[in-house]
A and B are shown apart, each in its own frame.
Chain A
């Protein structure tokens, strides 16, 4: 393991933790704007997280060890997954890092523990949230795999680092089919981060909540970890989409100025994508639970089409 790579690990983790709360509040701000409200400040998520970190943790008397380890496991799994997606700087991959399949299963691990914790506290809302989350993930999983398979077909590699190195070298999307994959990735981003057509991140209504239902029993710094891990997960998926479609600014050499520029460019691109997500959410109503497969079918359709095009032509 060389020095560059160690530095990459530090930079990537710091950047992803520092930026992700900003994107969460940006989306909220855009949504507030479309509703004619002023909305919270763009730093509100940071304040909330800091406040939560200071508060004490309360466990339900029914809860077991799972409740205690879940925030740590979730955060750890998502942070490791974040290392698989270079945000600003693409080093040479070492070992299994950057493997698409491992990336997906790290996300699945986090989700699994979150669902367990939802059941663990013994509240009925948590159980409902977990059950819904698991049904949705069972439906979206094949689609996700197909989308990533399409990516692998396009780039002829299973490693995210190699894909990014390829796009960063050309500076533009490798093939037009990437636009199709981009749409699929956007849908996956929406589903994985529990956004509006799937789940409403703002409500605590028993009828609609999925993600909120599972973390309802969390409190204090555990809750802060859960919130932060959700934000990091969103940023990682956003970075995957952004750096594949618009690789502009992604650097492959390690210089201070290069990294600084890359961070700034990434923030700009991420803010634009956050704005798009906000507008997309505002223009849609939440879908009925049993209509969700039609959303996934769209992603499935596009990515299968990409595979057909790549295989036959």
Chain B
């Protein structure tokens, strides 16, 4: 078994990687790289799960690592990449309410607030390890940052990616704080895959904004009424 100090150091480096990927997803305008960065983020999560497994030896962590690797590093990015090939848009430059700079600044404030709030909650309980505490903070921050991506982007495809990155946050939080039952983790991942498959099927309109989507369906004669109208 590897030495604990080294594993902790590795986990800290992986935390830093997660922060970087989250900041990239929230601020980039380049659609092509968002998917690969998302895959990278999931891969980092897999590495964290493996490192934690070597620390704690719980078999659930190993299962989580395997399932995450198969679904989030391979299947979901593959589907989204397929969509992107079809729709041929490369940039996402429309934003609701918040532009990337503001979202970055807000997410910084969010992290600070979460840090303080969690510190207060943890205070009463027997002192937890620093690492686990920081993992929890990062998990919730990732969740909220993903949420911010979801509501600040106009393109449906980036909304989906924001949602996926939000789920990564839940997973991270689950790994470090509460032992989420494995079955729930598994169900969430199945949900995610179905969500992505649905977006693939709906890819006719996925490059439009949600407001435009209806018009787009009319144009492609995909709605029944449209034929009657025309």
Q: Using CB atoms, name the residue of chain A closest to B105.
A: A297
Q: B101 near A294 (CB under 8 angstroms)?
A: yes
Contact partner, A304, options B99, B101, B108, B119, Cβ 8 Å: B108
Q: Complex formed: what's the CA distance from A302 to B105 in Å?
A: 10
Give residues 297-313 of A contacting B (CB, 8 Å).
Answer: 297-298, 300-302, 304-305, 308-309, 312-313
**Which of B9, B15, B19, B111: most chain A CB closer than 10 A?**
B19
Distance between B96 CB and nearest chain A CB, rounded to angstroms = 17
Question: What's the nearest-Cβ distance from chain B to residue A250, in Å?
Answer: 21
A180 pairs with B111, CB closer than 8 A: no
Structural contact, B134 and A298, CB atoms closer than 8 A: no
Interface range, A side: 10 to 19
Q: Is B159 an interface residue (CB 8 A)?
A: no
> Taking the nearest CB of chain B, how far is it from the CB of A58, in angstroms?
44
Contact status A305-B19, CB under 8 Å: yes
B218 on the interface (CB 8 Å rule)?
no
Which B188-209 residues sit within 8 Å CB-CB of chain A? none
Contact of B105 among A301, A308, A309, A312 (CB under 8 A): A301
B9 in contact with A176 (CB, 8 Å): yes
Quote the shortest CB–CB distance from B227 to chain A (angstroms). 44
Q: Out of B12, B13, B99, B115, name the residue touching A294 (CB < 8 Å).
A: B99
B105 and A183 contact, CB distance less than 8 A: no
Q: Is A271 an interface position by the 8 A CB rule?
A: no
What's the dominant secondary structure at chain B's contact region?
Answer: helix
Say yes or no: is B7 at the interface (Cβ < 8 Å to chain A): no
B23 touches A179 (CB 8 A): no
The reply to whether B130 and A313 contact each other, CB–CB distance below 8 Å, is: yes
Known: A297-B101, A308-B111. 8 other contacts (CB 8 A): A176-B12, A176-B15, A176-B16, A294-B99, A297-B104, A308-B115, A309-B134, A312-B119
Closest 5 CB pairs of A and B: A176-B13, A297-B101, A294-B101, A176-B12, A176-B16
Q: Interface of A with B (CB < 8 Å)?
A: 175-177, 179-180, 183, 293-294, 297-298, 300-302, 304-305, 308-309, 312-313
Please list 25 pairs of residues, one from A and one from B, whose beta carbons are closer than 8 Å in the complex, sorted by A's number. A176-B12, A176-B15, A176-B16, A177-B16, A179-B16, A180-B19, A180-B20, A294-B100, A294-B101, A294-B104, A297-B27, A297-B100, A297-B101, A297-B105, A298-B23, A300-B104, A301-B105, A301-B107, A301-B108, A302-B19, A305-B19, A305-B108, A308-B112, A308-B115, A313-B134
